[in-house]
Amino acid sequence: MDFSSFLTSLGTSFLIFIVLMILFALLQSKPGNNVVYYPNRILKGLDPFEDGYKTRNPFSWIKEAYSSSEKDVIAMSGVDTAVYFVFLSTVFSILILSGIILLPVLLPVAITDVDGMTNTTSKGTFEELDKLSMGHITARSARLWAFFIACYWVSLVSLFLLWRAYKRVSWLRSEAQKSPDVKPEQFAIVVRDIPPVPVGQTRKEQVDSYFKTIYPETFYRSMIITDNKEVNKIWEELEGYKKKLARAEAVYAGSKTTAKPEGTRPANKTGCLGLIGKKVDSIEYCNEKINELVVKLESEQKVTIREKQQNAALVFFSNRVVAASAGQSLHAQMVDTWSVFSAPEPHQLLWPNLKIKYFTRQLRQYLVYFIVALMIFFYMIPITFVSAFTTLKNLVKLLPFLKSIEKIVVLRTVLEAYLPQIALIIFLAMLPKLLLFLSKLEGIPTESHVVRAASGKYFYFTVLNVFIGVTLGGTLFSTFKTIQNEPKQIVSLLAESLPGNATFFLTYVALKFFVGYGLELSRLVPLIMYHLKKKYLCKTEAELKEAWAPGDLGYATRIPSDMLIVTIVLCYSVIAPLIIPFGAVYFGLGWLVLRNQALKVYVPSYESYGRMWPHINNRILASLILYQITMFGYFGVQKFYYAPLLIPLPILSLLFGFVSAKKFYPAFQHPALEIAAPGLKEVPNMELIFRSFIPPSLSSEKVEDDQFEDARSQVSRSTSFV
């Protein structure tokens, strides 16, 4: 990429960002768009504009986002979101403190080396950047000491701020968990791997007797996990017909006019997609199907509860300290029987995965890891080929007829600026759903754990395929044989290839924060989709609400994408310090834009009280270690004899990870008993807590309480509540 292409990319991205900002300022003030730009506030019963839209400054969101406190974020979007902002602010601080030293020191050191220019950071076409990079330093030069010291500075700053962040998140988690509010998940544990039922007992009696023996005073009740596949299918079909009925009634009511007060009753065909089959009155047909399915559902509920019990259960306690202790205790001599963990929020439980046996879960986990490893390897092939071929120069070599396009200066500049970055973004967009599916396949029992697992897989994809794949991709054909013959050479090859892709990653980061955050803030796509659905598809209030439902922040993809930027900026921070301001803008602007979205737009789908943080911490450490290893390799390329003095850095990072895991991680893995000990502001209603865990498909107003007796135990008379 030459200088004009680089400037074109930056200028175009910035222009798009300004246009999107202006659109946001105009669109968010329109009352008809409130449900797109303020759904979180609306769902919480708050006024979107505290002072009224007519007097609102279109840019006041910046002040509101900046001045908002951590308590405001927790109140609107939960602890998980607040922890995400700790991550953004920590990385931003790392880059600011690094840049304060690296930019004023390393840039003059590099540009004043008159004998330099041994390596290029831009494939030899962007000399202005080359002169500001480590590649401009002469091999064996004493000036390399400045870059050597900078490696230590970046590493120490990162470790210091990560330690502070871990302490902060630990405090946020503990404060949320010791809340005096009654939370159902704090009074329950999940039990898996229940042994076969003894002769003469039911599954309920087996579970009850086991836990009553261990917790005679505080055991409250148990709920046996059932196979809900069939009942869920019927329930979803019933809910579908209820929605169709509401829609048909709304269409019928809308057809009544002064000229035709009786209206026109809607009709539909009963065949595939309503295109074939017998034509029927929609309202009468839906009512008939609903009555039919209600009877069928009630019958299936009884069958499910009595005959489809599994080897797992939920156990409830009247004391949350006992529940916290039970969730982290070893109950049986053999690890593959009576295994337990603390219950998550009721809607987080993945019921189909609770019945999977211990060794089956282990086997599935290793199998999924193997599949993911194969996917990473084979996914790297197309990405490295894309990196190698999507530069216009390489495309012209492959497809000679493109020479005519290369001669058009404007078109050539735009293609060189955007083609590789857009190709990468498209490739990465295909992954998330597949990784979520694989994570569920492991047998993971909760939704938040699935998101964490998918996030980890996505992180390895992005780092190995995008960062390393693109870095080596530019020299793929010349280096493949070398790697094949000498695998140990991959570090030096990575170090040699790293400088040549600096401008690519500069452009990639700029595209992510200008265009990415511009689209995030403006919400153009959700806005257009909402108005199209509202005009042509939605007939009921429920359909309208579904059309503007905002969803959550999407941690499974958002955090790995951010971690890719962390990896890129850290690895280039010393080689090409000019990337530091780009990274700082990405995380600073991200903090501001997403702060606004967290306060007004996104609604969290679950709360895990910052359970993601240990994984975030470990991945930042992994990026830091990759940076330290590549710098060691690059100093070797520069023939700096003191490069081995960098070896303590990765050792220090590994030691930091070990110590922080020993000190902080246990409290993230299990709730500390001292956190569960403080009193509650009200006596918990154990019946409501119990019923909050009953799946919607098994819950019915018409079903009497005694229907569930085979899936739960009798009530304990204990009245001890904490």
Between helices 541-548 and 524-536, what is the axis angle to 10°? 160
Conformational region of residue 322, where left means phi above 0, alpha means psi within -120 to 50, and beta covers everything else: alpha
pLDDT score of 630: 87
Q: Quick count: other Cβ atoms within 10 Å of Cβ 242?
A: 15
Q: List the end-to-end C-alpha distance of the chain, in Å, as a whole number.
A: 65
Three-class DSSP category at 226: strand
Round to whole Å and give the CA distance between 602 and 551. 6
Distances (CA, A) of 33 to 56, 155, 273: 15, 46, 32
CB 298 within 8 A of CB 235: no
Three-class DSSP category at 333: coil
Round to whole Å and give the CA distance between 121 and 8. 18
In order, the DSSP letters of 488-557 are: GGHHHHHHHHSGGGHHHHHHHHHHIIIIIHHHHHH-HHHHHHHHHHHHHT--SHHHHHHHH------HHH
**Residue recorded with tokens 């930027």:** 565
In order, the DSSP letters of 240-270 are: HHHHHHHHHHHHHHHH--SS-TT----EEES
Q: Quick count: other Cβ atoms within 10 Å of Cβ 57?
A: 12
Contacts of 71 (CB under 8 A, 6+ apart): none
Round to whole Å and give the CA distance between 647 and 654. 12
pLDDT score of 276: 80
Round to whole Å and give the CA distance between 220 and 685. 12
CB 654 within 8 A of CB 625: yes
Tokens matching residue 91 = 């990385």
How high is the mean pLDDT of the chain?
Answer: 84
Which residue stretches of the chain have pLDDT < 70? 1-3, 5, 50-58, 114-131, 136, 258, 273, 380-429, 469-501, 700-722
Distance from the Cα of residue 223 to its chain's centroid:
31
pLDDT score of 463: 82
Domains of the chain, by residue range, sit at: 3-182+488-677, 185-344+691-717, 358-442
Q: What are phi and psi of 309, to 5 degrees?
A: -75, 145
CB 316 within 8 A of CB 220: yes
pLDDT score of 233: 95
Round to whole Å and give the CA distance between 291 and 286. 9
Contacts of 258 (CB under 8 A, 6+ apart): none
Round to whole Å and give the CA distance between 122 and 498. 10
**% of the chain surpassing 70 pLDDT:** 80
| Predicted structure pTM score | 0.87
pLDDT score of 703: 46
CB 712 within 8 A of CB 222: yes
**Residues written for the chain:** 722
CB 640 within 8 A of CB 148: yes
Round to whole Å and give the CA distance between 283 and 268. 10
Tokens matching residue 268 = 């539909």
Conformational region of residue 140, where left means phi above 0, alpha means psi within -120 to 50, and beta covers everything else: left
pLDDT score of 53: 44
Sign for the CA dihedral angle at 441, 444, 447, 449 comes to: negative
Name the helix (H) or strand (E) containing 455. helix 447-461
pLDDT score of 503: 72
pLDDT score of 477: 43
Sort 540 into a burial class: Cβ within 10 Å, 0-12 / 13-18 / 19+: middle
Three-class DSSP category at 315: strand
Round to whole Å and give the CA distance between 666 and 664. 6
* 446 DSSP β-pair partners: 349
